[in-house]
Amino acid sequence: MVVVNGQPTDLISVHDRGLQYGDGLFETIAVIDGKAQHWELHMLRLARGCERLSIPFPGTEQLAADVDALAIDHQRHALKIIVTRGASLRGYRPPDSPQTTRIVYSLPWPDYPATNAEHGVTVRLCSGRLSSNPQTAGIKHLNRLEQVLARGEWGDPAIVEGLMLDNHGNLVEATMSNVFLVANGHLHTPDLSSCGVAGIMREIVLRECRSAAISVHIRTITWDDVWQADELFLTNSLIGLWPVRRLVTPQEQRDFAAPTLTRELRARLRDSLPDHVA
């Protein structure tokens, strides 16, 4: 079921600016036993995204009511929330008083194999690059053509993710997840002030590290840094935290040794990961 502005329907106007221009934001949230995981963090990011785009934030209570209206009783599902600037006539100019559109619906829990989290996954390097724009960096807006094209680069189901670089050749993220690397016993993750989505699971890793006094360097990460890392792992709200076992490029491939620090971190974060009730 889909709820649009509180009403059960899976249709929206063709004049909605979400379709017309990608003028909106979204969240993808893990729901386990009826509880939306990390709801407050998702709402915080959505509110910040709305603020950045000058879209009125519908409010946490309103969105929670929309989610309740879905009346989902699956033990586990993925919740998607889209907020757009609403419909308007022709032209890029944002309306002075936009009537935002709220779209809330549930999707089946993705059936990722448990081995992904336990033994790690194979990732590739995408040739498509992520463009830089500090104005829209970090937020989860609806302009996702770069991710679509990058995800379209491969069909091999053995490869689960693709790393993406910026125009300078530095690591930003993967198509649907954030990336951390371990080098010399320290954690590193790309600075996302110019491009990329600041994921909620990334935020949770950063918070855990802060509270456990594990140092994380948020910085520019070159391709050499990635290639020479001791460990690599991916995060997002639905996958949790997956170690990378193999990295494939058009020229070569590299296998990673046992992900020691990654496993330690997984154990620490156990209660925050969506697979903790697997």
CA–CA gap between residue 5 and residue 53 (Å, rounded): 20
State yes or no: is 101 an active-site residue. Answer: no
Distances from the Cα of 57 to the Cα of 10, 78, 82, 153, 196, angstroms: 21, 22, 11, 35, 22
User: Of the residues 140, 175, 235, 262, which is catalytic?
Assistant: 140
Give me the least distance between CB of 131 and a copy of itself, in Å please. 4
- Do 275 and 242 meet the contact criterion of CB atoms below 8 Å apart? no
Residue 202 CB, nearest approach to a copy of itself (Å): 18
Smaller CB separation from a copy of itself, 20 or 230:
20
Closest approach of a copy of itself to the CB of residue 238, in Å: 9
* Choice between 89 and 213, CB closer to a copy of itself: 89
Residue number, 3 or 209, with CB nearest to a copy of itself: 3
Question: Which is the catalytic residue, given 84, 100, 101, 173?
Answer: 173
What phi and psi, each to the nearest 5 degrees, are found at residue 7? -105, 140
In terms of residues, how long is the chain? 278
CA distance 168 to 222: 9
Residue number, 124 or 188, with CB nearest to a copy of itself: 124
For 50-73, the DSSP string reads: HHHHTPPP--HHHHHHHHHHH---
Give me Rg for the CA atoms of the chain. 19
Q: Could you give the angle at the alpha carbon of 231 between the alpha carbons of 229 and 234, nearest 5°?
A: 110
Smallest distance, Å, CB 144 to a copy of itself?
4
Nearest to 117 by CA among 268, 234, 242, 257: 242
Nearer to a copy of itself, 82 or 269 (CB): 82
List phi, psi (to 5°) of 181: -135, 155
Asked about 28 being catalytic, the answer comes back as yes
Residue 35 phi/psi, 5-degree rounding, is -110, 120
Interface ranges with a copy of itself (CB under 8 A) = 2, 4, 10-23, 26, 28, 53-54, 78, 80, 82, 84-85, 89-94, 96, 103, 105, 107, 110, 128-129, 131-133, 135-136, 141-152, 155, 167, 175-176, 195
Cβ 230 to a copy of itself, closest distance in Å?
Answer: 29
136 has catalytic annotation: no
Q: Give the active site residues.
A: 28, 140, 173
